[in-house]
Amino acid sequence: LTQMTYYKLQEEKALEQCREKVADHGLPMKVLKAEYNFDGSHLTFYFAAEQRVDFRNLVRELAGIFQARIELRQVGVRDEVKLMGGYGLCGRPLCCATFLTEFKPISIKMAKQQNLPLSPAEISGQCGRLLCCLSYENEFYCEAMKKLPRVGAKIDTPQGPGKVVAVNVIKETVSVLLLESDITVEMPASELQSATNSTAKGQSKRRR
């Protein structure tokens, strides 16, 4: 049993002892994880709290118990979930607890760009913040949307003039309300481009 392995096995016990002392001191903090360095000379406790906590007396007491340098490190809600682990809405282990090394800014605009429901329960992670995975395909959606007509735009189709009522980026299709028949049809974006190009060429010839 190596020294590093020994102290790794002691972390769970240290965590429980720290939580007991936090309760004894009546401090408003949630201790999440204990982490020793390789030789046991440094012990870090990660905690979450809604406000600033005066833990000086706690640190002195913990230093006496563990005979090590004590560090208490406060983390945010995303880091809290990263430390605790778990499973996401997709059924897979949380990205933050497996491979993410940094948290990039996530905006509600990303969800809108991907035509996702804006219900907090469907686009929020365990941390209560927007899902990190909203950023994974955002660049693809941004580029794909540039090639598709906007919702509300009036366009020419092989079946006559129409108005765009919805777009499907994944299928690369557009739902169009045909103005002459008042029927909504879904068609490939490529057909619309062909129809628009044909119309443009026809107008160009008439101008000549």
* pLDDT given for residue 197 in this prediction: 46
**151-187 burial, b if ≥16 CB within 10 A, otherwise e?**
eeeebbbeeeebbbeebebeeebbbbeeeeeeeeeeb
pLDDT-derived band at 199, boundaries 50, 70, 90: very low
* Beta bridge mates, 146: none
| Distant-in-sequence, close-in-space partners of 145: CB < 8 Å, separation ≥ 6 | 113, 167, 169
**For the residues 17-29, what does the mean pLDDT come to?**
97
Least Cα distance to 115 among 77, 148, 155, 72 occurs for: 148
31-41 pLDDT per residue, tens: 999 999 999 99
Per the model's pLDDT, the better-predicted residue between 171 and 66 turns out to be: 66
Chain segment 99-153, per-residue pLDDT in tens: 998 888 999 999 998 988 899 999 999 999 999 999 999 999 999 888 889 899 9
Q: What pLDDT, on a 0 to 100 scale, did the predictor assign at position 1?
A: 76
Q: Rounded to the nearest 5 degrees, what angle is found at the Cα of 199, between the Cα atoms of 195 and 203?
A: 170
Residues 60-81 have a mean pLDDT of 95
| C-beta of residue 188 within 8 angstroms of C-beta of residue 173 | yes
The confidence score (pLDDT) of residue 190 equals 85
DSSP assignment string, 3-40: HHHHHHHHHHHHHHHHHHHHHHHT-S-EEEEEEE-TTS
Q: What is the pTM of this model?
A: 0.68
